[in-house]
Amino acid sequence: MKMNRRRLTLVGTLSALAAAIGLRRLWRRADQINRGDERSQKDRRAAAWIGFCFALSILGGIGLLVVYAMNGQVQLEGALLGVSLGGIGIGLGLWGKYLFGEEIVTEEREPIATEVAAATETADMIVEAERQVTRRTFLTRLLLGAGGAFLVAMVFPLRSLGPRPGNNLLRTSWRKGLRLVDEHGQPVKVDRLVVDGIVTVFPEGYTYAEDSQAVLVKVDPGELQLPPGRVDWAPQGNLCYSKICTHAGCPVGLFVQELHQLQCPCHQSAFDVLDGAQVVFGPAPRPLPQLPIEADAEGFLVARGDFSAPVGPGWWSLPSGGGV
Residues in a beta bridge with 301? 295
Rounded Cα gap, residues 315 and 248, in angstroms = 9
Instruction: List pLDDT tens digits, range 39-94.
Output: 567 777 777 787 788 788 888 778 877 887 777 777 887 888 788 888 888 877 87
C-alpha to C-alpha distance for 102 and 123, rounded to whole angstroms: 21
Q: Give the DSSP per-residue string, 293-306.
A: EEE-TTSBEEESSS
DSSP conformation class of 244:
B
User: Mind giving me the DSSP string for 257-312?
Assistant: TTTTEEE-TTT--EEEGGGTTEEEESS--SPPPBPPEEE-TTSBEEESSS-SS--S
Domain residue extents for the chain: 2-103+112-161, 180-303
d(CA 153, CA 63): 8
Q: What are phi and psi of 195, to 5 degrees?
A: -60, 135
Neighbours of 249 (CB within 10 A): 17
Which secondary structure element, helix H or strand E, spans residue 60, and what is its range? Answer: helix 2-69
Interstrand relation of 180-181 and 198-203 (parallel, antiparallel or unpaired): antiparallel
Half-sphere exposure of 123 (CA within 13 A, CB side): 6
- Cα separation, 156 vs 80, whole angstroms: 15
User: Is 180-303 CATH 2.120.10.30?
Assistant: no
Residues 237 and 224: beta-carbon distance below 8 Å: yes
Q: What is the pLDDT of residue 250?
A: 92
pTM of the model: 0.52
What gap in Å lies between CA 248 and CA 218, rounded to an integer? 26
* H or E segment to which residue 217 belongs: strand 214-218
* Parts of the chain with a pLDDT under 50: 1-5, 7-12, 15-16, 18-20, 22-23, 26-27, 29-34, 36, 115-116, 118-119, 122-123, 126-127, 129-130, 133, 318-324
